[in-house]
């Protein structure tokens, strides 16, 4: 087996942490002795053991007293550079040094200032052979949320909406009218469980009274972000219930009442998308879905503040309505979800 295959296994393991490790990256680790995997692990939950710790522990679970001698002749594979700093847990680079592994193969270096080459330096200083740059693109893609937050000082921003076949987004008369089908709704709930937060504007909250939870799937609810400058949404609406933390960006007050966090912003009619992105970054929110309405979505598009757009197009046609936002980007994927077509766009040119 090649280095690429073991790093691919790291990515499979790492992905199991989706939705549970933010604002940390998703990391998997595989320990190999004489061509056989003797231990593996992944970062399962923020604040808990990192991938390397779980993989080393797995070796001890599998081999007991033999583990120390096996580790001295083993290779560790990890999709992201082992950390070199004390955070919620001790440095993983120190753990690999302690057990005297002969070689460490790494996918991405870690751009976080507390690591960024320091983990590799520690390993090399201890006489461990280090190989980097294996499946770089695949590793970067898995942790695109983490890299965006570290490198651009903002969360990874996903735009999501449904539109009719002839490009309408919502009725003009402020009534609630479903566009996409039940399969699309189920997938939307899965997406919510994978991201840190979800954003809606005042009109969407007033008209649709959405719960903004991941109730149809197993997984955590995202933090609900509501844009309501004059606090017009009644407290009887779902966004004010206790099912998830809710942040209300407004121009009136800053306060915390149980799970509801009111955050005051000035001049919300100017640079709103930029202000939201920066506030969420300060709150350690690594990824966010912007679900509506059309005006909020358009502001993020105009500000060029988006990393992925997920658009459901139904077969239904309407005679009239509010037009869906206009977006230009590279199509990453087109999928059939029930009766609806899902198109996923990226603003970046693909390699």
189 is in an annotated binding site: no
Cα→Cα distances 28→98, 134, 160, 235, Å: 19, 14, 29, 43
182 is in an annotated binding site: no
237 is in an annotated binding site: no
162 is in an annotated binding site: yes
Adjacent-strand bridge partners of 7: none
Cβ–Cβ under 8 Å, residues 137 and 108: no
Cβ–Cβ under 8 Å, residues 195 and 149: no
9 is in an annotated binding site: no
Cα→Cα distances 121→116, 198, 225, 254, Å: 10, 39, 41, 45
Tell which residue, 328, 327, 330, has the closest CA to residue 349: 330
Whether residue 52 lies in the annotated active site: yes
Tell which residue, 245, 235, 302, has the closest CA to residue 271: 302
212 is in an annotated binding site: yes
43 is in an annotated binding site: no
192 is in an annotated binding site: yes
Which uninterrupted H or E stretch holds 124?
helix 118-125
- CA gap 243, 240 in Å, rounded: 9
Cβ–Cβ under 8 Å, residues 116 and 109: yes
Residue spans of alpha helices (H) in 169-312: 182-194, 202-208, 272-282, 294-302
243 is in an annotated binding site: no
Cβ–Cβ under 8 Å, residues 329 and 345: yes
149 is in an annotated binding site: no
204 is in an annotated binding site: yes
End-to-end CA distance of the chain: 26
Cβ–Cβ under 8 Å, residues 19 and 191: no
The one catalytic residue in 12, 40, 48, 52 is 52
144 is in an annotated binding site: no
Binding-site residue positions for NADP(+): 162, 178, 204, 208, 229
Residues annotated within the binding site for Zn(2+) are 50, 83, 92
Name the residues annotated as catalytic. Answer: 52
Annotation: binding site: 50, 83, 92, 162, 178, 192, 204, 208, 212, 215, 229, 291
């Amino acid at each position: 087996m090649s280095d690429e295959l073991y790093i691919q296994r790291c990515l499979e393991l790492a992905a199991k942490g989706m939705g549970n490790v933010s604002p940390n990256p998703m990391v998997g680790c595989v320990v190999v002795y004489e061509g056989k995997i003797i231990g593996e692990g992944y970062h399962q939950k923020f604040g808990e053991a990192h991938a390397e710790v779980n993989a080393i522990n797995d070796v001890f679970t599998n081999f007991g007293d033999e583990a120390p001698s096996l580790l001295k002749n083993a290779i560790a594979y990890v999709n992201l550079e082992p950390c070199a700093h004390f955070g919620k847990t001790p440095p993983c680079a120190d753990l690999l040094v302690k057990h005297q592994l002969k070689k460490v193969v790494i996918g991405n270096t870690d751009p976080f200032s507390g690591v960024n080459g320091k983990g590799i330096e520690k390993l090399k200083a201890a006489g461990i052979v280090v190989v980097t740059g294996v499946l770089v693109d695949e590793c970067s893609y898995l942790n695109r949320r983490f890299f965006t937050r570290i490198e651009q000082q903002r969360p990874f921003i996903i735009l999501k909406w449904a539109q009719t076949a002839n490009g309408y987004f919502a009725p003009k008369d402020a009534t609630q009218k479903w566009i996409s089908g039940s399969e699309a709704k189920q997938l939307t709930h899965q997406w919510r469980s994978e991201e840190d937060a979800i954003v809606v504007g005042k009109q969407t909250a007033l008209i649709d009274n959405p719960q903004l939870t991941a109730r149809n799937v197993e997984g955590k609810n995202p933090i609900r972000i509501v844009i309501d400058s004059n606090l017009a949404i009644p407290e009887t609406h779902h966004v004010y219930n206790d099912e998830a933390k809710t942040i209300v960006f407004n121009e009136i007050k800053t306060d915390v009442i149980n799970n509801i966090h009111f955050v005051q912003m000035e001049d919300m009619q100017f640079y709103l998308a930029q202000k939201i992105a920066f506030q969420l970054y300060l709150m350690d929110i690594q990824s966010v879905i912007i679900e509506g309405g059309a005006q909020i979505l358009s502001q993020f598009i105009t500000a060029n503040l988006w990393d992925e757009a997920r658009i459901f197009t139904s077969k239904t046609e309407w005679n009239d309505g509010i037009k869906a936002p206009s977006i230009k980007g590279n199509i990453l994927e087109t999928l059939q979800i029930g009766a609806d077509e899902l198109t996923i766009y990226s603003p970046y040119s693909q390699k």
